[in-house]
Amino acid sequence: MAETAFQFPAKDQAIVMNAVSELKLTDYVIAIGNLMTPKDILFASRMSNDRVCIYLSNKALVDQIVSEQPALIINGIEIKIRRLLNPAKRIILSNVCPTIPHSIVENQVKMLGFTAVSPMTFLRAGIQNSAFSHVLSFRRQIYVQPSSISLPSSVVLKYDDTNYRLFLSFDDVCFKCKAAGHYAVDCPNVIEKSTSIVSPSENAKQSVDQVYPSNKRQTTNDDPDEVTPLDLTQMFRDKDAREKRKPKKMKISDSLESLTPTSELLTPVRQLIDNSGVQYPVDFNQFVEFMDKVIGDSNVMDLINKYTTDVQGMLNLLYDVYPLVEHKSIKNKCLKAQRKLKKAYANFVDQTADPVPPTESFLISPLQDEY
């Protein structure tokens, strides 16, 4: 068949199901074929991450099967059906106590005006050690229908006579312009600098070279055995120029952040520590003092022992603080403090007689379900 005569399918014509070792590709195709005419099935194949993908003849069939038949029973095994291209938006909920049932949190999302299109699920903690890869985090996810409703940054949920503050965000936030609806790689608000622009220092150097041309003899192709002698004078001049080179100018935003007290940069965190319902090992004032000292302190374990012995709890706090602060300087300080604390704690554990498993890497993105 000529390529011009064949109409290639679009991604919104495909459905995806979990691949089960006991089932063959034929079993999936026949089961879907029983819901429509066999001619409506165009392509079928196994995919990565243990999935089976089937392309149907049109998008209307995908809409129908997903809404009317979200799951199939194939050889006694329940198989869920979802779209390959999911138009829904994903809400990430952080700082959610694991004792709170999914139904309670789902009702909170519905009260905001959103319509859920998937059940709520936990997100993994992202521990690299395979023995602990099953450990879940205090974050959850849920897919909702696209809507013009604004998503609040946080909500207070009361459960079991305790108030919990949950933090919410969509997952399609650009890290360059902080706007929602696109990712950093597709950011339309960043203007790329042209590589053809010549800096003023380069212009000055070119002018000097034109007025005072070099008197050094140049090696030519006619004399291939000639070698330019080592010019020690030029080497010393270059070294002096590097030593006298002006330091890189600090951006205005960076200089303002450096003059801003740490307590002010951490203002968004005060409510998390004092009123979120999560028992952190330190209060807000102790955390501010710790952040002021941790980068320049050579013995982190002695420093943290002044406040608490719960090193893991302090690492959890650093992880929860990172997405809440806005300024780049305090974000970098959180990352450096976490790495420094983890390294010092690992060395401390190695020196003890009863070592414990290494702590988790909190900055690695948790495993996420693909839709």
Using one digit for the tens of pLDDT, what is the confidence trace for 200-259?
445 544 544 444 444 444 444 444 444 444 455 555 566 666 666 655 555 544 444 456
pLDDT of residue 171: 77
Lowest-confidence range among 2-6, 87-91, 216-220? 216-220
The ranges assigned to domains in the chain are: 10-83, 89-186, 253-350
In this chain, the answer to whether the domains covering 10-83 and 89-186 adopt an identical fold is: yes
pLDDT of residue 135: 93
- What tens digit of pLDDT does each residue of 26-57 get? 999 999 999 999 999 999 999 888 899 999 99
pTM over 0.85: no
- Computed over every residue of the chain, the mean pLDDT equals 76
Specify whether the CB–CB gap between 271 and 307 falls below 8 A: no
pLDDT of residue 252: 46
pLDDT of residue 184: 57
- What tens digit of pLDDT does each residue of 344-371 get? 777 776 665 444 444 443 343 344 444 3
pLDDT of residue 369: 41
| Best CA proximity match to 100, nearest among 154, 139, 145 | 139
pLDDT of residue 362: 39
Taking each helix axis as running N to C, give the angle between helix 328-350 and helix 311-321, from 0 to 180 degrees, rounded to the nearest 10.
Answer: 160
Integer Cα distance of 324 and 261 in angstroms: 17
Instruction: Please indicate whether residue 204 or residue 58 has the higher confidence score (pLDDT).
Output: 58
pLDDT of residue 244: 60
CATH classification of 89-186, choosing from 3.30.1050, 3.40.190, 3.30.70, 3.10.350? 3.30.70
Integer Cα distance of 144 and 119 in angstroms: 10
Topology of domain 10-83 in CATH is Alpha-Beta Plaits (3.30.70)
Highest mean pLDDT out of 96-100, 230-234, 304-308, 314-318: 96-100
- What tens digit of pLDDT does each residue of 139-148 get? 999 988 877 8
Specify whether the CB–CB gap between 14 and 86 falls below 8 A: no
pLDDT (mean) for 164-169: 92
pLDDT of residue 118: 82
Whether the predicted pLDDT of 318 surpasses 90: no
pLDDT of residue 109: 93
Instruction: Please indicate whether residue 16 or residue 216 has the higher confidence score (pLDDT).
Output: 16
Cβ burial of 222 (10 Å; 0-12, 13-18, 19+) is exposed
pLDDT of residue 351: 62
Q: What is the DSSP letter of 13?
A: G
Which residue type is seen at 56?
A: L
- The DSSP element (H or E) to which 137 belongs, if any, is strand 136-144
Instruction: Please indicate whether residue 5 or residue 270 has the higher confidence score (pLDDT).
Output: 270
pLDDT of residue 226: 43
On the CB side of 155, how many CA atoms lie within 13 Å of its CA? 19
